[in-house]
Chain A
Amino acid sequence: MSAELSWEIDGWIILAGALCAMSAALLGNFLVLRRQSLLGDAISHAVLPGLAAAFLLTGQRQGWVMFLGAASVGVLTVLLTELARQFGRVDESASIGVVFTFLFALGLVMIVQAADSVDLDPGCVLYGSIETSMIRKMPLFGLSIPRVVVTLGTTLTINSLFVAAFYRMLKVSTFDPQLARAQGVPVNFLHYALAGLVAVTSVASFESVGNILVVAMFVVPPVAAWLLTDRLKVMIVLSLVIGVLSAVLGHLAAINVPIWFGYRSTSTAGMMAVASGGLLFFCVLFAPRKGLLSQLLRQWEVSLRILGEDVLATLYRAEVAGQNAVRLVGLVRSLLVTKLWARIVIEFLQLRRLVSRESDGLRLTTAGRSRAQNIVRSHRLWEHYLASEAGMSNEVLHDGAERLEHFTDRQMRERLLVESNAPSTDPHGRPIPPEA
């Protein structure tokens, strides 16, 4: 069962959510990289007294005064945090905690005190009601566009202009503040400007999508993008894409998911945050290089290769000892692996035509024999080197060589040969086979 989408309403809601997500994610990239992810959360709570003061002064919910109030409180938050940190030598997160709870509490008291004279619901500030905010429209370019969309669009434009204008400076001051200072980049100015824009973005989003969505969008899409890439420009673009995706998925989920459980649709803002969390979870698992799955696969790949080489070497040693074929059971016993792993490795080796399965057991193919010969050669050369040059005792030689043989190529073997005066046998007296 699924709800009917009406583009007239849902289109605008998704657009507003996406604009908010992009405005926040754009700045969030720098917050996350500067290890100040929580500044977004702190500032978006702390602007409350600024909003309240602006309301009390102007009695309006719209207008430049409100943005000005919010931006100055945002800068004030950073200023107070720095002060508490410098004078109190409290660590940064604690001073953020002190400052933003103070400002939020102050704002809460102001709002409740003035509840009779201004119409401001703290609940609305927190959750936002993106759905109802679409009702108020204003004409622009001959179209009737929701006021919220115009506000958020303006915010996104301002943020983009800021990032574009100061991109290089932001980049340097984010990755190496000291270098930036030495180059004459106005590091402090950038810091406070960023804080001010974070505050403006929070306020622009308050009425439409609520506090919580911006807080999520400051952190979640940039972190997800960071998992996907190491390049700042790519990261910014990806974070914008992820922000838009969260908005779309979040709204669809808000409309559809509760219906599956027999309820009516729920808060879009909350669901957008959840959707971004879902996307992040996906990235944590499946990101190409930093993802958990790819890390696991890389580990498996390495262990598969190492075990495969061990199997080849075992077969080679058996062949030299006059044993023509080795049974799986023998391999399992001598390599101390489970049967399943041994089977997988042998399948893998057969696939690469290094090993063939005969009626009496496993044999090396010609290609397999030369691979194996080189591995055993590396092993014995290392043993000789470790004994003669590194002075290791005979008991530990094997373990060292066993590890090193898997990461030794032809050049390294030639080097070893030169360094240890071209030995013909290893310390145990076994011949070192020639290069295959």
Chain B
Amino acid sequence: MNFVAVTLEFIAGQTAAVPLIPRSWAWRVLTLSDYNTRVVLYGTTLLGIAAGLLGVYMLLRKRALLGDAISHATLPGVAATYLWSVSAGYEKSLALLLIGAAISGGLGGLTVLALRHVAKLREDAALGIVLSVFFGAGVALVGIVQQDSGGNAAGLEGFIYGKAAAMTAEDAWLSGGAALLVMLIVWAIGKELQILCFDSELARSQGLPVLLLDTLLIALVVGVTIVGLQAVGLILVIALLVIPAAAARFWSDSLKQILVVSACIGGASCSIGTLTSATFAKLPSGATIVLVACGGFAVSLVFGSARGIVWQGLRHRRMRDQQDFQHFLRFAYEYLESQNNAGPFIKPGSVPIALSHLIHSRTWSAHRVLAVGQQLQKLDMVVMRPDDCIELTKRGWLAARRIVREHRLLEMYLLRETDVDLGQADRDADYLEHGLMPEHLMDLDEAMRAESLFDVPASPHPLLPETVASDLPSRVLPEQGKTA
């Protein structure tokens, strides 16, 4: 059907002029008034949810691609069952083909386990071998099916590429039922699976039947795969097992939330994909579902709240800013110290600190120093003066004092307890100080037996000599630019 024409007529509202069937068909798809569409939609959505749940465990077990080997391994089963049922004179029945698929898929999964544990091959090699050899056998058998019964065999093609749109309500019920069963089992043994996936050694030591659970996982993958054969085809079934789970990892670090998100992404991609493929002409259902899921993955990759690029970038930036603030304040304070002006706090305006000094001590770019200074000014810790100098406010001075104190405690601790030299201690403390928690500081205090909780100990190494600072030209900012 010509979708463009149909939509155009929708917009133009020429209802009477066009043949009713295409438009009403699209309408029925979109409004779900068609029984068949509705059932197929439910079937594939359940499949997406089941695959999403199971995929999380497969991903955590580091067996993400096992599903790929298993789904390829179903082909010889389908074709062999077909040949057998034809020669035995049975009607071609979906249930029978799916049982054949399940048997050979399971056999494929077990072969992977055997190649890994008995023949001691690596996981990737075992997967590649099972995938290609079983699929090769399937192709050979399909070759026989095709010459044997020409047109009838076209049904088998659907298994390879999926044909959700052509699914009958009966097929969909079968798929939905199987998907529900998978979900129930995952829900029932979730706890055991969790232990298995996070720490298989722990699982073994707790007396969990690891091999049995692994086999059960394979059985569940086989279940999802044979359901998925109908909807997305055997090549793309793996997408339903991998993509939602991988996407969900970007949203959370807690297993429960990952499971929920993954199930949502799986279900949503399947339903949106099925609807889209049913609405538009020439969109194979399997590929459409996968592309929708990939869209979900891309969105998660960029915007995911736990590991997404955007949030991670923002967090990185905030952390870097925080570090720069601390360094800025510390060097300002140390400058005051070198001028014997460290404390008690002197009113603003009395002791200006040249920005050139800060630039020199951190090898920062002038631009960066200016930016940090302005940000600190917004936080009411620093006052920027027009002559390229800054002053600490009371707030800034207190913060600087605390930071310097932490840095020195850490330095002294490192010097005493580890065998780093002076320069190294300064650098190490630079790295460590930003991650310190109050309780760490209490421990440090105790370890250093500081007399007072609020004293700033003297620096164990000489601070930057002020002569160097005064050697620099006083007006550095505009001229030196980023090369400072």
- The residues of A with any CB-CB pair to B shorter than 8 Å are 32, 35-38, 40-41, 45, 84, 87-91, 93-98, 101-102, 104-106, 108-109, 112-113, 115, 122-123, 126-127, 210, 212-213, 215-216, 218-220, 223, 254, 258, 263-264, 266-267, 269-274, 276-277, 280, 284, 290, 292
* Contacting residue for B64 out of A88, A93, A254, CB 8 A: A93
Question: Does B268 interact with chain A (Cβ within 8 Å)?
Answer: no
- Residues from chain B with a CB closer than 8 A to the CB of A35 are 122, 124-125
Q: Are A97 and B157 in contact (CB under 8 A)?
A: no
- Residues from chain B with a CB closer than 8 A to the CB of A277 are 129, 132-133, 136-137
Question: Does B148 interact with chain A (Cβ within 8 Å)?
Answer: yes
Chain A residue nearest in CB terms to B139: A270
**Known contacts A215-B135, A270-B143, then 14 further A-B pairs from the complex at CB < 8 Å, ordered by chain A residue:** A88-B246, A89-B307, A98-B239, A104-B287, A105-B286, A109-B288, A109-B291, A218-B128, A220-B133, A254-B140, A264-B147, A274-B136, A277-B137, A280-B129
Q: Are B284 and A273 in contact (CB under 8 A)?
A: no
Q: Are A112 and B284 in contact (CB under 8 A)?
A: yes
* Contacting residue for A87 out of B132, B286, B309, CB 8 A: B309
Nearest CB in chain B: distance from A221 CB, A: 10
- Residues from chain A with a CB closer than 8 A to the CB of B148 are 263
When A97-B239, A98-B297, A105-B294 are in contact, do A273 and B139 touch as well, CB less than 8 Å? Answer: yes
Pairs A-B, 4 closest by C-beta atoms: A273-B136, A277-B133, A270-B139, A270-B140
- Residues from chain A with a CB closer than 8 A to the CB of B238 are 97, 101
- Residues from chain A with a CB closer than 8 A to the CB of B284 are 108-109, 112
Q: Considering the chains assembled together, what is the distance between the CA atoms of A38 and B123 in angstroms?
A: 10
Question: Does B258 interact with chain A (Cβ within 8 Å)?
Answer: no
- Residues from chain A with a CB closer than 8 A to the CB of B291 are 102, 105-106, 109
B56-112, CB < 8 A from A: 59, 62, 64-65, 68
Q: Are A284 and B119 in contact (CB under 8 A)?
A: yes
Q: Are A292 and B68 in contact (CB under 8 A)?
A: no
Nearest CB in chain B: distance from A418 CB, A: 41
- Residues from chain B with a CB closer than 8 A to the CB of A284 are 115, 119
Q: Are B143 and A266 in contact (CB under 8 A)?
A: yes
Q: Considering the chains assembled together, what is the distance between the CA atoms of A115 and B287 in angstroms?
A: 15
Q: Considering the chains assembled together, what is the distance between the CA atoms of A88 and B62 in angstroms?
A: 15
Q: Are B136 and A269 in contact (CB under 8 A)?
A: yes
Q: Are A108 and B161 in contact (CB under 8 A)?
A: yes
Chain B residue nearest in CB terms to A122: B161
- Residues from chain B with a CB closer than 8 A to the CB of A109 are 283-284, 287-288, 291
* Contacting residue for A219 out of B132, B245, B287, B290, CB 8 A: B132
Q: Are A273 and B135 in contact (CB under 8 A)?
A: yes
Chain B residue nearest in CB terms to A283: B119
Q: Are A273 and B144 in contact (CB under 8 A)?
A: no
Q: Considering the chains assembled together, what is the distance between the CA atoms of A102 and B290 in angstroms?
A: 7
Question: Does B249 interact with chain A (Cβ within 8 Å)?
Answer: yes
* Contacting residue for A37 out of B127, B136, B245, CB 8 A: B127
- Residues from chain A with a CB closer than 8 A to the CB of B125 are 32, 35, 37, 219, 223
* Contacting residue for B290 out of A96, A105, A223, A272, CB 8 A: A105
Q: Are A98 and B122 in contact (CB under 8 A)?
A: no
The interface size of chain B toward A, counting residues with CB under 8 Å, comes to 58
Q: Considering the chains assembled together, what is the distance between the CA atoms of A180 and B139 in angstroms?
A: 41
* Contacting residue for A213 out of B136, B161, B249, CB 8 A: B136
Q: Are B140 and A98 in contact (CB under 8 A)?
A: no
Question: Does B142 interact with chain A (Cβ within 8 Å)?
Answer: yes
Q: Are A91 and B64 in contact (CB under 8 A)?
A: yes
Q: Considering the chains assembled together, what is the distance between the CA atoms of A290 and B120 in angstroms?
A: 9
Nearest CB in chain B: distance from A37 CB, A: 4
- Residues from chain B with a CB closer than 8 A to the CB of A101 are 235-236, 238-239, 242-243, 290, 294
Question: Does B217 interact with chain A (Cβ within 8 Å)?
Answer: no
- Residues from chain A with a CB closer than 8 A to the CB of B141 are 266, 270
Question: Does B118 interact with chain A (Cβ within 8 Å)?
Answer: yes
Q: Considering the chains assembled together, what is the distance between the CA atoms of A272 and B135 in angstroms?
A: 11
* Contacting residue for A267 out of B68, B115, B139, CB 8 A: B139
Chain B residue nearest in CB terms to A216: B132
Q: Are A87 and B301 in contact (CB under 8 A)?
A: yes
Q: In this complex, which of B64, B238, B301 has the most chain A Cβ atoms within 10 angstroms of its Cβ?
A: B64
Question: Can you list 22 A-B contacts with CB-CB less than 8 angstroms, sorted by A residue number?
Answer: A36-B124, A90-B59, A101-B242, A101-B294, A104-B235, A104-B236, A105-B294, A106-B287, A112-B287, A127-B139, A127-B142, A212-B136, A223-B128, A266-B140, A266-B147, A267-B140, A269-B139, A270-B137, A270-B142, A270-B143, A273-B132, A274-B133
- Residues from chain B with a CB closer than 8 A to the CB of A290 are 120
Q: Are A102 and B294 in contact (CB under 8 A)?
A: yes
Q: Considering the chains assembled together, what is the distance between the CA atoms of A183 and B457 in angstroms?
A: 48
Nearest CB in chain B: distance from A115 CB, A: 7
